[in-house]
Every structure is written in C-alpha cells, then in structure tokens.
Structure 1
Amino acid sequence: MDIRTRTAADLAACVEALAEVQAADRYPVHWPADPGAWLTPDGMTTAWIAVEAGAVLGHLALTRDQEVSRLFVTPGARGRGVASRLLDTARAATPLPLRLEVSSEGRAAIGFYERSGWRRVGSTRAGWLNAAGEPALLHHYVSPPRG
C-alpha cells in the first residue's frame, strides 16, 4: 500500500471508494449531488489517498485551517492501518496540531481516534441532519502531541 497526494486523475476512483463506504456506513449520511466536489471541501490545501494495485483504499483531505476532512477507508481495507497512515501523513505535512469533527453516530471512528490519542475538546450541533433526521451531534478533536 502506498500513500500519495491525490491528483485530479484519482477523483473518479475516490468517488467509487466513497460509494463503498457510503453503502456500508452511511458516510456521508446523504450522498452528495457532486461527490467529486464534496471530496474537495472549501479551503482544502491537499488530499492524500491510500492505493494498492490501482484501487483507492482510503482518502484524507486537509484544509488550510488544519482540519482533517473527508477521511474514510473502504470496508475491505479496514484493520490494516490505512487511516493511521493517512493521519500520520497529514500530521507530517504541518507542524501545527490538526483538528477534526466526527458525528456521534461514527462510533468506530470515535473509538479509533481516542485509541490513537486524539483528545475531544468539545461538541456542537451540526447544520445538517443525521440518519435519525435530527441535527447531528459533532465531537471536536485535536491531534495528540508530537514526540
């Protein structure tokens, strides 16, 4: 498995991988009208993908305010350290702490972040609805200290 910077040529394969994740986990909760644009959030500075044998296994975007966004790993690639490697790559790209938000419905993701040393610093309600049709509860995390 390789981690590399996402290019425009990778976007179609990233959308295919996202479709696998959405079918398994409802992430994103509502399939976007333009999934390629959704994978390229406002303020994105770079994005990385995990690839193996030409298939996208995972994706992570980083915004200019040091926020991790659009992080996912395909169901078949889970348990192989893909998310950890993507996060390590993003952390190596900046000396500043990273931030991320995760919906309270993402229990597996929350467990992963907390086992990995990310610290919850607050929670807020989102402007979008969760699977139950209520404003999603977002937990805010900051990356563990370096060293």
Structure 2
Amino acid sequence: MDIRPRTPADLDACAGALALVHTADRYPVDWPPDPHGWLTPHGLLRAWVAVEEGQVLGHVGLADTTEGPEVTRLFVAPAARGRGLAALLLETVRKAAGAPVLLEVSDEGRAAVALYERLGWRRVGSTRARWLNAAGEPALLHHYVSP
C-alpha cells in the first residue's frame, strides 16, 4: 500500500471509492452532483490517496481555512478498513501542514469520532451544521485539533 499525492487522473477512482463510502456510511450526507468538484473544494491545498495494486482505497485533503489548516474529504473504502489507512492519511496531512490541523466530524460518524480520539485528537467544540442529519435535524458537528 502506498500513500501518494492525488493526481487529476485519480479522480474517477476516488469518486468510485467515495460512492462505496456514501452507500455504507452516508458520507457525504447527500451525493454530490459533481463528485470531482466535491473532492476538490475551495481552499484545497493538497490531496493524497492510499493506493494498492492500482486501486484507490482512501483519500484525504488539506484545506486552507480562516481557522487554519484543516483535514477535508477523508474517507477509506469499506473493504479496506481496519488496516490503519485513516491513521496514515491523517498523519500525512499533519506532516504536510507542519502545524496543528483541524477537522470536523458529524456526531453520526461514531467510528470516526472514536478513531480521532484514539489517535489523540482533542475535541475543541461542537456546533450545528446547515445540513441535516439522518433524523432530519441540523447535524451536530464536533471540532477537533490534532495532537
């Protein structure tokens, strides 16, 4: 398995992996009409993919926000979970940023919350999102900072 910078040629494979994640976890909550655009949000500085035998297994981006460097578009394909890929992708972002990194996660993402806390990320607050959770209410977002 290799973690390397994402290239434009990876976007179709990333969208395919994202579709599997969306079906399994409802992430993103609403399927984007333009998955390539969703994977390349405003403020994206860099993105990486976890690849094995030519197959994209995971993805992460580093975005520049008004609050500081932030993890964005992190996901691991369901069949590749349990191998430490999310931790490796997060560490890649932390090293590239050279400073503490922020992220936000929906309260519904219980496995992700548990992972971040196990890796030493610290919750620094919670807010309500503008989008709705599975219950049709504004989603509760938890905000974390890297160790």
Say whether the fold is shared (TM-score over 0.5).
yes
Q: Secondary structure at the match of 1:67?
A: strand
- 5+ residue gaps, structure 1, are none
Structure 1 residue 15 and structure 2 residue 15: aligned? Answer: yes
Q: How does 1:39-58 map to 2 (within 5 A)?
A: 39-58=39-58
Alignment root-mean-square deviation, CA? 0.7
Quote the offset at 1:18 in angstroms. 0.1
Please give the TM-score of this superposition, normalised by the length of structure 1: 0.96
Which residue in the other structure is 1:102 paired with?
A: 105
Which residue in the other structure is 2:132 paired with?
A: 129
Which residue in the other structure is 2:34 paired with?
A: 34
**Aligned equivalents of 1:4, 1:22: Cα separation in 2:** 23
Please give the TM-score of this superposition, normalised by the length of structure 2: 0.96
Structure 1 residue 93 and structure 2 residue 96: aligned? Answer: yes
Which residue in the other structure is 1:60 paired with?
A: 60
- Which runs of structure 1 show a deviation greater than 3 angstroms over 4 or more consecutive aligned residues? none
Amino acid at match of 1:135: P
Which residue in the other structure is 2:79 paired with?
A: 76
Quote the offset at 1:95 in angstroms. 1.8
**Aligned equivalents of 2:44, 2:34: Cα separation in 1:** 16
Question: Identity over aligned residues, as a percent?
Answer: 69
Quote the offset at 1:96 in angstroms. 1.0
Quote the offset at 1:94 in angstroms. 2.0
- 5+ residue gaps, structure 2, are none
Aligned length: 144
Which residue in the other structure is 1:113 paired with?
A: 116
